[in-house]
Structure 1
Amino acid sequence: MNLSIWGAARQVTGSMHLLETDGYKILIDCGLDYEKDTWIEENEQFPFQPTEINLVVLTHAHIDHSGNLPTLVRFGFEGQILCTSPTADLTELLLLDSVNIFLNKQRKNRKGKRGFSAGPKPLYLQKHVMETVDRFVTIAFNKAFRINGQISLTFIPVGHLLGAAAAIFTIEEHGIKKTIAFSGDLGRKNYPVLRDPETLPEVDYLVCESTYGGRMHKATQSVDELLTETILETCVKSPGRLIIPAFSVGRTQALVYSLNKIFKKGLIPKVKVFVDSPMATYATDIFRKHHHLVSDEAQEFYKNSGDEFEFDNLEYIQDMNASKAISNYYEPCIIISSAGMLEGGRIQDHLYYNISNYYCTILFIGYCSKGTLGHRLLRGDPIINLRHRELSVFATIKQTDLFSGHGDHNDLVNFVKQQDPQKLKKVFLVHGEMSSLESLSQALNDNHYQVEIAKRGLKYQLD
């Protein structure tokens, strides 16, 4: 049995791992790699023949794990893609959104009839997404699925996102049984809407993400306390606007549920809430469809108080005219819109009209990578460029990591410590910046685990 790490090796994006046994090739995740300047061209260059891959196993829907699947199909992959049912639904939504992003970028690069280059072609189109979706085969959590006579797969819930799973393979090779687990992305305990990560069975090898290695979540207050304090300060004590950039899938649902609980408790007046993201509306319907998989707390809330994603002062915005009309709403309000890093989407409209408003607060609930507009605001830039205009930043800028869907350093260490260090032969660390990988590696070494910070393309023989 051989393991090759072809993505998210000593970086975060582009998860893609190849497991080979007796000529059978399984690709675990196939994500987009955003970390190169020529990322479209780079993502077209697979380090193996897509036609030779027998099976893909998808841990969860996020684009850095699923986003290059249509390219794999476009270049000849003809096998099945195994995932959970929520992952299949959310992945289809996110992949179709990726097509729109590709096409919008191409339109921006096009210079009409002047003869200038239109830029790189889209990585894939809607037809490739639909061909990919046709290959999805969904399997349930905690039930062994027989892939062939020698290989079985079990999905274990890990939080992080609805449907997210660790993939556990049991492989019989030359009469010897071997087990290997791929963590996917590990969630955190007590996250709004989602269930806590479950304990993994003992395995021989573990491929573990390291996103928050060396970093801890700040827990000085709860989600409900943070939101209550911010809304009181922004919308009650002064007639202001609270704008929350939030990713449409996962973060928005957690945020809406948290607001619902706060309003139901009567902790604050019922301030108007706009969710201005059609994609978030579709994603919320998927959460409703798979309601049996949300947290016990959310299910109990549903029994006692009704739909956790719906309340009187909440309005989901669909068409663009309704979105533009929000700028004419002069009462205090909360606006939730995507994209989370401010690099596109309707959030830019709200930013344009409110960034110079002293009575506005912009609350970031997610990570903003370097070079993004969100990052520039968080570092304190006094002026930003938006729609070819320089705008002074008078709005209050805040950030919290309470809505981060990733487990922190201690969560990752405790996740690995579920395994007996005398029986776990090796931990391969992936999906992290080098500083995070090194911090987590040191902590695990201190707990007597054999650790390898995986290198891209190196073939590891698993005895």
Structure 2
Amino acid sequence: MKLTIHGAAQQVTGSMHLLQVGQYKILIDCGLDYERDHNVQLNENFAFRPEEIDVVVLTHAHIDHSGNLPTLVRRGFNGQILCTAPTAELSELLLLDSVNIFMRKEQTSRKHNRKRPGQGRQPLYLQKHVMDTVDRFVTIGFNRPFRINGDIELTFIPVGHLLGAGAAVFKVNDNGTEKTIAFTGDIGRKNYPVLNDPQPLPPVDYLVCESTYGGRYHTKDKTIEETLTEVIDRACIKESGRLIIPAFSIGRTQALVFSLNKIFSKGLLPPVKVFVDSPMASMATTVFRKHHSMLNGDAQDFYQKLGDEFEFENLTYIESLKDSRQVSNYFEPCIIISSAGMLEGGRIQDHLYNNIQNYYCTILFIGYCAKGTLGFRLLRGDPIVHIKDRDLAVYATIKKTDLFSAHGDHEDLIDTIKQQDSGKLKNIFLVHGETSSMQAMADALDSDGYKVTIPEKDLTYEF
């Protein structure tokens, strides 16, 4: 059995791991490498021959895990893509949105290179390639062993983080010897809105574990409801202003809407108008409703007592661009939830453009903003930011909370690993994190007798 880490090696994005059993090749995840996003060819060229991959196993829908699947298909992969049903449906939404992003970047590139024909930025893939990819999805339920072939069995174990996300656990007959290996994908946190807590993994011989929040801890002194109530009370009630919350359309927005629903249904605040301005968020919410049985006990109880978790009085889902623009003419206190979370495109830029110089506007960040993004610059405290070809002074109040992060922190990650017996777990491969995060986890695990490897990109490990 051989393992090669082709992506997310000593960095966060671009998850892509190759497991080879004899001549059979399994690719676990095929994500976009954001650090290579400036150069399409770097995401386009694989370190292996796509046509030689027998099957792909997808842990969850996020683009850093699924976003390069259409390229793999375009370059010759013709096998099945195994995942859960919600992962298949959410991946389709995200991959189609990626095509739109690619096309916008291509248009911008052509605009800037009018005098240099052929220098425009070509899209990595098109809608046709996404639909070809979607046709290859084969869905599997949680905790239901699926025999890939005579020697390999796959089971998805729920790990929270996102609807449908599952660790991929393989039981392998390797020349008459049974071996087990698990790939965590991304591990969620406990008591997260809508989603179930991560389920313990079965005992395995080898573990490929994410390390995004290694060495870091989430805030624990306040609950999500307490934090939101405090911010809304100040921004919308006491100051009679508006609260803008940039949020990713899939996962983060549903968690936020459910949290607001609970706050207003309990009467913790007077009614405030809430706009969800993201067509993709509306489509994703439909997927959440469809797979309602997969939501956590809190959401199930709420539904039984009060109805739809994602619908309440004064909540409006905005579809058309015309209606989106009309929000600027709504002068009563309100909450605007819009994507994208890092402010690098989407309708959120229109709302920022119209409100960044409004003293009675608060912008609440509920997710990570990568270095170089508009969100990063606002969080850094830049007094002037560039939005839609204009430099605008920042008069709005900027706030942040990490309580909506769907990633488990250092404690959650270590707890997940320590469910494994250190005497039986032969090796832990840390991926999907910065080197400092991996080292913090390695140091914590080493003292308890676990063997840890921080793998290099494209290096093959045989066991």
TM bin, normalised by shorter chain, reads: over 0.9
Contact 2:105 2:121 in 1 (8 A): no
Give the whole-Å Cα distance in 2 for the aligned partners of 1:185 and 1:400. 20
Give the whole-Å Cα distance in 1 for the aligned partners of 2:23 and 2:350. 53
Q: Which amino acid aligns with 1:449?
A: Y
Question: Once the 2 structures are TM-superposed, how far is the Cα of residue 117 of structure 1 from its aligned partner?
Answer: 4.2
Please show how residues 100-139 of structure 1 align to structure 2 within 5 Å: 100-111=100-111, 114=115, 116-117=117-118, 119-139=120-140
Contact 1:109 1:117 in 2 (8 A): no
Whether 1:195 and 2:202 are equivalent positions in the alignment is: no
Give the whole-Å Cα distance in 2 for the aligned partners of 1:437 and 1:304. 44
Contact 1:246 1:252 in 2 (8 A): yes
Q: Which amino acid aligns with 1:208?
A: C
Give 2:229's aligned residue: 228
Give the whole-Å Cα distance in 1 for the aligned partners of 2:153 and 2:432. 25
Give the whole-Å Cα distance in 1 for the aligned partners of 2:116 and 2:436. 45
Give the 3 Å change call, closer, same or farther, for CA 118–320 of structure 1 in structure 2: farther
Give the whole-Å Cα distance in 1 for the aligned partners of 2:367 and 2:39. 23
Partner SS state of residue 274, structure 2:
strand
Give 1:145's aligned residue: 146
Contact 1:361 1:395 in 2 (8 A): yes
Deviating more after overlay: 53-62 vs 32-41: 32-41
CA deviations 1:338-376 (Å, max 9, x no partner) are 000011000000000101111100000000010000000
Question: Once the 2 structures are TM-superposed, how far is the Cα of residue 282 of structure 1 from its aligned partner?
Answer: 0.4
Give 2:326's aligned residue: 325
Give the whole-Å Cα distance in 2 for the aligned partners of 1:460 and 1:448. 21
Give 1:456's aligned residue: 457
Contact 1:106 1:118 in 2 (8 A): no
Give 1:424's aligned residue: 425
Question: Once the 2 structures are TM-superposed, how far is the Cα of residue 447 of structure 1 from its aligned partner?
Answer: 1.4
| Structure 2 spans left out of the alignment, 5+ residues | none
Give 2:13's aligned residue: 13
Give 1:76's aligned residue: 76
Give 2:214's aligned residue: 213
Deviating more after overlay: 358-367 vs 35-44: 35-44
Give the whole-Å Cα distance in 2 for the aligned partners of 1:24 and 1:415. 29
Give the 3 Å change call, closer, same or farther, for CA 189–332 of structure 1 in structure 2: same
CA deviations 1:268-308 (Å, max 9, x no partner) are 01100000000000000000011110111101100110000
Give 2:49's aligned residue: 49
Give the whole-Å Cα distance in 2 for the aligned partners of 1:338 and 1:32. 19
Contact 2:36 2:43 in 1 (8 A): no
Give the whole-Å Cα distance in 2 for the aligned partners of 1:318 and 1:146. 42
- TM-score, normalisation: structure 1: 0.99
Question: Once the 2 structures are TM-superposed, how far is the Cα of residue 383 of structure 1 from its aligned partner?
Answer: 0.7
Question: Once the 2 structures are TM-superposed, how far is the Cα of residue 120 of structure 1 from its aligned partner?
Answer: 2.1
Partner SS state of residue 260, structure 1:
helix
Deviating more after overlay: 105-114 vs 69-78: 105-114
Give the whole-Å Cα distance in 1 for the aligned partners of 2:115 and 2:437. 47
Give the whole-Å Cα distance in 2 for the aligned partners of 1:196 and 1:24. 33
Give the whole-Å Cα distance in 2 for the aligned partners of 1:308 and 1:364. 22
Contact 1:409 1:440 in 2 (8 A): yes
Give 1:30's aligned residue: 30
Partner SS state of residue 81, structure 2:
strand
Give 1:184's aligned residue: 185
Partner SS state of residue 34, structure 2:
coil
Question: Once the 2 structures are TM-superposed, how far is the Cα of residue 175 of structure 1 from its aligned partner?
Answer: 1.0
Q: Which amino acid aligns with 1:216?
A: Y
CA deviations 1:1-32 (Å, max 9, x no partner) are 00000000000000000000110000000000
Give the whole-Å Cα distance in 2 for the aligned partners of 1:265 and 1:373. 35
CA deviations 1:374-418 (Å, max 9, x no partner) are 000001001111122111111100011000000000000000000
Q: Matched residue pairs, number?
A: 462
Contact 1:193 1:254 in 2 (8 A): yes
Q: Which amino acid aligns with 1:106?
A: E
Partner SS state of residue 5, structure 1:
strand
Question: Once the 2 structures are TM-superposed, how far is the Cα of residue 36 of structure 1 from its aligned partner?
Answer: 2.6
Give the whole-Å Cα distance in 1 for the aligned partners of 2:117 and 2:26. 42
Question: Once the 2 structures are TM-superposed, how far is the Cα of residue 116 of structure 1 from its aligned partner?
Answer: 4.1
Contact 1:33 1:39 in 2 (8 A): no
Give 2:398's aligned residue: 397
Percentage of matched positions with identical amino acids: 68
CA deviations 1:228-285 (Å, max 9, x no partner) are 0000000001110000000000000000000000000000011000000000000000
Give the whole-Å Cα distance in 1 for the aligned partners of 2:39 and 2:403. 31
Partner SS state of residue 35, structure 2:
coil
Q: Which consecutive segments of 4 or more residues in structure 1 shift more than 2 A?
A: 36-39, 111-118
Question: Once the 2 structures are TM-superposed, how far is the Cα of residue 446 of structure 1 from its aligned partner?
Answer: 1.2
Q: Which amino acid aligns with 1:213?
A: G
Q: Which amino acid aligns with 1:241?
A: R
Give the whole-Å Cα distance in 2 for the aligned partners of 1:3 and 1:222. 40
- TM-score, normalisation: structure 2: 0.99
Partner SS state of residue 336, structure 2:
strand
Partner SS state of residue 323, structure 2:
helix
Q: Which amino acid aligns with 1:300?
A: D
Partner SS state of residue 27, structure 1:
strand
CA deviations 1:205-234 (Å, max 9, x no partner) are 000000000000011100000010000000
Give 1:407's aligned residue: 408
